[in-house]
Amino acid sequence: MVPVIKSIGVVGAGQMGCGIAHVSALAGYKVQIYDLSQDRIETGLATINGNLARQVGGGKLTDEERNAALALISGSSDVNDLAPMDLVIEAATEDESVKRKIYALVCPVLGPDAMLATNTSSLSITRLASATDRPERFMGIHFMNPVPVMKLVELVRGIATGEATFSAAKEYVAKLEKTATVAEDFPAFIVNRILLPMINEAIYTLYEGVGSVDAIDTAMKLGANHPMGPLQLADFIGLDTCLSIMQVLYDGLADSKYRPCPLLVKYVEAGWLGRKSGRGFYDYRGEVPVPTR
Ligand SMILES: NC(=O)c1ccc[n+]([C@@H]2O[C@H](COP(=O)([O-])OP(=O)(O)OC[C@H]3O[C@@H](n4cnc5c(N)ncnc54)[C@H](O)[C@@H]3O)[C@@H](O)[C@H]2O)c1
């Protein structure tokens, strides 16, 4: 029987977790967000509030819809508050050891029939499932960034994912009015398997001095009709996330064409993670973003 999903737990109040909470509440689901500290929860809730307000300002939502969505979202740093949720979506840092620790903490709290999903951009669903107590009720539900704007969700089964779990996830995505595509459980699935090597190549192009940040982004915006330049997009995704995905591709497919660019490694080591940390290929601390190279 396909489980009926009425409530969504979200692990991680970062850019993706907030986006998932936002669209789920707008679709009428009760949402509970969990993160490591109350500070992160407060920042996340403020972000969601601001993003909903922007949609009201743009005429995409009414004030009533915004208030109704906000009333459905709660957050806390107590993992036990996830206990009543029907589907918990983990959207924490792209690091397998972090995700494994989270499953060890969250699984004992959940009801026996609850589903668990990961928003991982690249990690093996089958391997992550093996770190849970419920591989049949575990799968990948991979949203795109920014979640309220992007229409696509990739659905990824692990080897043990049950049909009822998959059908329930499909129904959830349809209720969010997003389009689901199915990807097999290979490193980085479909979108990031194609997108991240392009971004990594843009960083090599910068590293080798073929062009400046501005030249590379302008070239791809005006020359390939991309809405954002690849370096601007890398900053938007988060350079730590970009590096993790390249490492997963490199390790998982054992092909040197996926070697992460040393310049990407250097930026991450510096803590220049892109927009979320205020600096990456652009510096966001002033009025307008300024290229850092
Ligand atoms: N950024 C993107 O464009 C994008 C797109 C699709 C999927 N994803 C995936 O979504 C996930 C989150 O990415 P993000 O961009 O939102 O990252 P982020 O850095 O904005 O947020 C990560 C959040 O996880 C929290 N966290 C870390 N360890 C935790 C723990 N042990 N328990 C609870 N919370 C913890 C952090 O405090 C932070 O709030 C990753 O798996 C990433 O690959 C990212």
Q: What is the pLDDT of residues 151-164, one digit of tens each?
A: 999 999 999 999 99
**Which residues are bridge partners to 249 per DSSP?**
none
163 is catalytic: no
In the chain, helix, strand, coil percent, each to 5? 50, 15, 35
Same domain, 135 and 90: yes
Average pLDDT over residues 174-198: 97
Inter-CA distances, 198 with 97, 150, 184, 260, 261, Å: 27, 19, 21, 11, 11
Identify which of 84, 92, 117, 98 has the alpha carbon closest to the alpha carbon of residue 13: 92
Output the domain CATH number for residue 232: 1.10.1040.10
Q: Which of 183, 214, 236 is the last residue of a domain?
A: 183
- Ligand 1 atom index nearest CA of 120: 41
Q: Are residues 148 and 48 in the same domain?
A: yes
Q: Active-site residue among 24, 90, 94, 121?
A: 121
Q: Is residue 233 in some structural domain?
A: yes
Do residues 244 and 282 share a domain?
yes
Q: Is the pLDDT of residue 141 over 90?
A: yes
Question: Is 226 tagged catalytic?
Answer: no
Q: Is 183 in the pocket of ligand 1 (CB under 6 A)?
A: no
Question: Is 65 known to be catalytic?
Answer: no
Beta carbon of 55 within 6 Å of any ligand 1 atom = no
For the stretch 221-240, pLDDT in tens is 999 999 999 999 999 999 99
Pairing of strands 115-118, 290-291: unpaired
In this structure, the answer to whether residues 79 and 201 fall within a common structural domain is no
pLDDT score for 77: 98
Same domain flag for 32 and 113: yes
Give the pLDDT band of residue 18 (cuts 50, 70, 90): very high
Residue 189 near residue 154, CB atoms below 8 Å: yes
Looking at the predicted structure, is the pLDDT value of residue 273 above 90?
A: yes
pLDDT at 2: 87
| DSSP notation for 144-188 | -SSTTT--EEEEEE-TT--HHHHHHHHHHHHHTT-EEEEE-SSTT
**Does 202 share its domain with 233?**
yes
Count H helices, E strands: the chain? Answer: 11, 10
| Residues in CB range of 236: below 8 A, 6 or more apart | 145, 228, 274, 275
Claim to verify: residue 156 and residue 261 sit in the same structural domain? no
Regarding the beta carbon of 21 and ligand 1, being less than 6 Å apart is answered: no
Residue 269: pLDDT band with limits 50, 70, 90:
very high
**Mean pLDDT for the chain?**
97
Q: What is the pLDDT of residues 59-88, one digit of tens each?
A: 999 999 999 999 999 999 999 999 999 999
Question: Which residue segment(s) compose the domain that 41 sits in?
Answer: 7-183
Confidence of residue 169 (pLDDT cuts 50, 70, 90): very high
Is there an atom of ligand 1 within 6 Å of 52 CB?
no
Domain contains 231: yes
Single out the residue of 98, 102, 144 nearest to residue 119, CA to CA.
144
136 classed as catalytic: no
What is the average pLDDT across 120-136?
Answer: 97
Residue 1 is predicted with a pLDDT of: 83
Instruction: Say how many domains are in the chain.
Output: 2
What is the rounded distance in angstroms from the CA atom of residue 278 to the CA atom of residue 60?
28
Looking at the structure, tell me whether residues 62 and 109 fall in a common domain: yes
| Exposure letters 253-276 (e unless 16+ CB within 10 A, then b) | eeeeebebbebbeebbeeebbbbb
40 and 178 part of one domain: yes
Amino acid at 145: N
Q: Are residues 179 and 258 in the same domain?
A: no
For tokens 């479909």, the residue is: 190
CA 31 to chain CA mean position, Å: 17
